[in-house]
Each structure stands twice: as C-alpha cells, then as structure tokens.
Amino acid sequence: MTAPSGMDRFSGAMRAVRGQFPALVLLSCILNLLLLVTSIYMLQVYDRVLSSGSLDTLLWLTLVAVFAIVIYGVLEQSRRKTLARMSGWLDAELTVPVLRRAMETRLAGKSGGAGPREVADLRRFYGGDTVLAFLDAPWSIVFLCFIWLLHPALGLFATLGAIALLGLAIANDSLTREGQLKLARVQKVQQDNATHFVGAGETIGPLGMARNVFGAWGRVQSEIAASQQGLADKTTVILSVARTLRQGLQIGILGLGAYLVLGGEATAGAMIASSIVMGRALAPIERATTAWRSFVAARAARASLAELFADVARAETARVALPRPTGQFAFENVLFAPPGSSEPLLQNLSFSLDPGQNCAVLGPSGAGKSTLCRLAVGAWPANRGHVRLDGADVFDWNPEDLGPHIGYLPQQVELLPGTVAQNIARFRDIESAAVVQAARLAGVHELILSLPNGYETEISLHSQRVSLGQKQRLALARAVYGNPAFVVLDEPNANLDEIGDRALIETLGALKRAGTTVLIVTHQASVLKCADMVLAIRDGTVAAFGPRDQILKPVRRVLPMLPASSKIGIRETAALDEGQDNISVGE
C-alpha cells in the first residue's frame, strides 16, 4: 500500500484549493451581474420615472434595487470568507510539511529554496484582493457588451479604453517580471545571511568583524534596494498612466454620451449608465495591474514548493512496523559522496557490531568519522551499500518508528527552543519518570535541579542559562531517553569537564549493562577503556577493526595514519591497562 507522497500532498492541497473556484466563479458571476443594478436603476429613473412622473414605479424600482444590493452584500461577504478560510487552510496544511521537507532536503545536502515564506506568499495571494481582481476581470467583457447595447459608439469607446489598460498591465508584467523573480531569490539569500550573522554574534563581535561583515551585507542590500526602486518606478509610472487614462476615459464617455443625447441618438439615462458601467468594466483591469506583483510572487512560490515536494529524498511508502531492534548493526560496502562531489568521503566501508557491543571510532580530522555517524542514524543516505540495524536499512526505516529506538549525540550540539524536559523527551508527551530516568542515566539530574526552574527551565535560541558543556550533557540525556537499542555519540566529551567525563564513563557502563549497542567517536583513553571494539578509519576507509586490545597493541603498527606526536602508543596502552583515566588520545 502506498501512502501519499510529498508531491501528492502538495498537489492534493492545490487541487483542494482549485476545487473551491467553481463556487467562487459562480458567486463572482452573480455579484458582477448585481453590479449592473445601479446602472439599470439609474437608466430606468431617467428614462421612465422622470418622464412618466409615476411614484409607484419609483417605489418598486427602489425596493428591487435595495433588495439586490442587500443580496450583493451577503454574497460578497461569503466570497471573501471563502477566500480567507481557504488561504488559512492552505497555510495550516502546508507549513509543517514544508518545514519537514526543507529539513530533509538540507539533510540530503541539497539546496532547498522553499520554506514558510513561500507558503505565506500563497496565503496572501489567495486571501487578498488579488484573486478577486482576477475573478472579476473576465466580467469586464459583460459590462462592455452592456455598453454596446446602449449605443455602439459608446461600446467601441469603452472597448478601446479597456484594451489600452490591458496593454499597460501586460507592459508592466514584461518590464518587471524577470527582475522581481531575481530580486526575490537574492533577498532570500540576504535574509538567510542576516539570520546567520546574528546567530554568530559571539564570533563576529569579539573579533571586530561586525563593521566589515555588516558593511558588506549592507552594500548588497543597497544594491537590492536600488533595483527594487527601479522596478517600483516602472510600476509607478505605468499605474499613474493607467489611472490618468481611466479618468480621461470617464470624462470621454460622458462627453460622447452627451454628444449622442444632443443628437437624439441616445437618452440621458444611457449616457449616465454607460459612464457607471464603464467604470465597473475598467476597475478589475486596473486592480489586476496593481495586484500583479502578488501574482508573480505566488507563482514563484508555487514553483518553489512544487520543486521542494518533488525532490523528496526519503520515499514515503507505508511500511510494515518493525519490532524493537536488538542492536545488531552493520555497514555493508558503504560508499558516500556529498551531492555535487565526485570525491567520496567514505568508500567500501564494512564492519558489524553485535548487540550490546561498544565500538570506539578513531581517526584523524577529515577521516570521515562524523559522516559515518550521520549515516549510522539515517540522517544521510549512502550512495552505495547499506547501513543496517537488525537487518533493515536505517535510511529506509520510517524515522518516526526508528527514532524512539536510537540515540544520537552529534558533534555540533543543538538544543531546541523549549524546556529542558521537552528537549530530553524529544518533544514528545512528557513522561516524568522516563525524563528523570534519562537524566539520571546521563548523570545530569543534579545539574538540571540546579537550573533556575529545574526541568522547566526554558532554553531559547540564544540562551545564556546553559553552558556548552551543560548542553552536551543534556543532549546526552536526550540521546539515551527511552532506553534506545542503538546509540551513536560523536565526540560526546569534547566540551566536558572532569565531572562530565566521569558521568559519561558511568553512562557508557550503564548502557553496556543494559545491552545497548554504542558507536562512539572519541580520542580519550578513559572512554576507550569502555570499548569492546575499535574501528580505525583513514581517508574514508577501514584502517583497522577488531577487539580493543588487539587493535591498540601495538598501535604504531596498526594506526600509521596518526601523526607521531598524537598516536596511541605503548605508554597510552599501558595507561589503559593500569586504569588511568586522563590520557589524551589525539587525532
């Protein structure tokens, strides 16, 4: 059975929106016909009531006109409510999936240009006056036909005026469309850069980089503003010409109508009615010219969202729910190269771990250790080969099903805005006992109690309440939450003090007793003591793999890729045997 794919979901949402348009078109038809009521009323008053002097006719005409206007108000409210609810539904339906797709695109190493901003552009388009302008524009033809019925000369004059306004709208599109699309792309990059610069304030400020960094950003922004102003000037000129032309057309049709009245070819009512109806006919065209920018933005947003949903790295198929894994783990001839690169970071990587084994990963900087960790938890897909947990490929496993069974502590620790308890519980429903158990297992229970609000302490994007070392320890609690069967730790003690190191050792011991399989990147001898197996990688390949004592004796022969000054040598191996904790094993 196949579940709706990302593209199917996006297409389904857009089909649902389009499904509302028949009703909207019908409402627009009725509303635009009702707009003729004022002109018909005036025509009848001038040509029938004033000439006959009949009060009864005036009364009934007025009652019918008022009734029609009330109906118009009710239907117009219904049309606007329909658009408002439709745009709100579209926002609710797409925002969360778009965020998720953007995350998956980023994890796949691809550039994703769409995000909540594009959904907001669609919402503004469907919820604003832009759609109304386009729904009303076709009815300009009906109004022009009505004017032709009053007099051919009046109809020809109004038609030529409408064509002139339409030509201005087309000219506005051709002159500004390409520039607006380019500016939208550049602006998105600029906004992303600005957010990144603010987040990197702790580096930019102390190093005195602010003037140069923000100066360069400001220069690009000035160029964007100049380009925007140029496009705005073009649009302003066209809009000014359009409005001037429309006012001139209103005067012109009144003058032509008066000429026809004086010649006995038309009535005074026809003259007034033609002026009013021509205003109705030209208004949607002028509104469409004004709303064109919103239409262009919505069109670009839809294209970006379609591309985002079409480019889904992880296939969305309904899978059989697999049981909790035991922790049997293996790499099978794995090759991985970043998107757009022909040079693999990992190649022909093969090893396996039995349930409950603790494997330390060693290697110099750039050897591919962090890449191995990302592949191990299914964050990145292998280009070739398989990464298996209990025989199932981790990338093909539904992440919502796999997530509770694995733990992951990346090298770059990220805690999300929310409480400490929410971060540890992975933002699932808070189970106090499970949260406290994970905190105790990671040795951070007392640390959390010392925070201002304990487990309810808020962690914001730039929170100063939690240090880097504390964040790493809290992330360790998140990794072991729920008693996972498989845990991956990438440099878990990079920012830890002596207390944190001891807590990590105790955590590794507890995981071993619980039968949890652990893959840990480390260079500390104290952590290596907890390892059953050692995997040494160099240039993305396996340099050595086997039991710890077999690999580490003699290390100089087995790990030649390490610099002489940082190898795990005889002294370090002896230190391991003697139980010393603080032997640094550098890259």
CB atoms closer than 10 angstroms to residue 546: 14
Which residues on neighbouring strands pair with residue 536, listed in sequence order?
362, 544
Per-residue pLDDT averaged across 145-172, rounded? 85
> Quick one: three-class SS letters along 194-211?
HHHHHHCHHHHCCCCCHH
**Quick check: 209 and 203 in contact, CB under 8 A?**
yes
Q: What is the 8-class DSSP label of residue 524? A: B
Strands (E), 295-422: 329-336, 346-353, 358-362, 384-389, 392-393, 406-409, 418-419
Q: What is the pLDDT of residue 359?
A: 92
Residue 333 and residue 350 in contact, taking contact as beta carbons nearer than 8 Å: yes
The residue ranges of DSSP E strands in 198-244, in sequence order, are none
Say whether pLDDT at 575 is over 60: no
The torsion region of residue 240 among left (phi > 0), alpha (psi -120 to 50) and beta comes to: alpha
Please determine, for residue 581, whether its predicted confidence score (pLDDT) is greater than 60.
no
Closest CA to 511 of 560, 440, 578: 440
pLDDT-based confidence at residue 200 (cuts at 50, 70, 90): low
pLDDT band at 7 (very low <50, low <70, confident <90, very high): low
Q: What is the mean pLDDT of the chain?
A: 79
Output the pLDDT for position 199.
65
pLDDT at 286 over 60: yes
With 60 as the cut, is the pLDDT of residue 227 above it? yes
**Residue 320 corresponds to which tokens in the numbers above?**
């059989």
The answer for residues whose C-beta is within 8 angstroms of residue 416's C-beta and 6 or more apart is 422, 423, 427, 459
Bigger pLDDT: 337 or 39? 337
Per-residue pLDDT, averaged over 230-238, amounts to 81
Strand locations in 101-242 (E): none
Tell me which DSSP letter residue 434 carries.
H
Mean pLDDT of 516-528: 85
Number of helical (H) and strand (E) elements in the chain, helices listed first: 24, 12
Mean pLDDT of 276-297: 78
User: Is it the case that residue 180 has pLDDT exceeding 70?
Assistant: yes
In terms of average pLDDT, the best of 48-57, 185-194, 423-432 is 423-432
Q: Residue 216: its pLDDT value, please?
A: 83
Task: Write down the pLDDT at residue 518.
Answer: 92
Query: What pLDDT does residue 552 have?
Result: 75
What integer is the mean pLDDT of 534-553? 85
Element (H, E) at 478: helix 468-479
Q: How far apart are CA 384 and CA 208, in angstroms?
A: 45
Residue type, 220: V
Answer yes or no: is pLDDT of 463 > 60. Answer: no
**Across 344-368, average pLDDT:** 88
Q: What residues does 409 pair with on adjacent strands?
A: 489
> Looking at the predicted structure, is the pLDDT value of residue 476 above 80?
yes
State the average pLDDT over residues 279-285: 81
Q: What is the pLDDT of residue 571?
A: 40
How would you classify the pairing of strands 392-393 and 384-389?
A: antiparallel
Match 């904790």 to its residue by tokens: 581
- Smallest CA-to-CA distance from 113 within 303, 340, 357 is with 303
Beta strands 329-336 and 346-353: pairing type? antiparallel
Asked if the model's pLDDT at residue 126 lies above 80, the reply is yes
Assigned token pair, 570: 């005889």
Mean pLDDT value of segment 178-199: 75
pLDDT class for 390, splitting at 50, 70, 90?
confident
Residue bearing the bigger pLDDT, 177 or 355: 355
Give me the pLDDT at residue 6, please: 53
Domains annotated on the chain, with CATH: 6-310 (1.20.1560.10), 329-416+479-552 (3.40.50.300)
In tens, the pLDDT along 64-78 reads 888 988 998 898 888
Give the pLDDT score at 457: 86
From the CA atom positions of the chain, what is the Rg in Å? 35
Q: pTM score, two decimals? A: 0.65
Q: Centre a 10 Å sphere on the Cβ of residue 548 and count the other Cβ atoms it contains.
A: 19
| Predicted pLDDT of residue 331 | 92
pLDDT value of position 37: 82
Q: What value does the mean pLDDT take over residues 148-162?
A: 88
Residue 2 has pLDDT above 70, yes or no: no
Distance CA 363, CA 366 (A): 8
Distance of CA 173 to the CA centre of its chain: 28
Q: Has residue 122 got a pLDDT over 80?
A: yes
- CA dist 528 and 143 (Å) reads 84
Amino acid at 112: G
Instruction: Report residue 557's pLDDT band, with 50, 70 and 90 as the boundaries.
Output: very low
pLDDT average, residue stretch 281-303: 77
At residue 584 the predicted structure's pLDDT band, cuts being 50, 70 and 90, is very low
Instruction: Give the mean pLDDT of 132-161.
Output: 85
**Average pLDDT estimate for 515-524:** 88
Contact 494, 447 (CB under 8 A): no
Res 572: pLDDT: 42
* pLDDT tens digits for range 249-281: 888 888 888 888 888 888 877 888 788 888 888
Model confidence at 23: pLDDT above 60: yes
pLDDT at 345 over 60: yes
Q: Which two tokens stand for residue 360?
A: 């330390």
pLDDT at 576 over 80: no
The pLDDT of 459-467, averaged and rounded, is: 65
Look-up: residue for tokens 């297992």? Answer: 441
Cβ-contact 364, 587 below 8 angstroms: yes
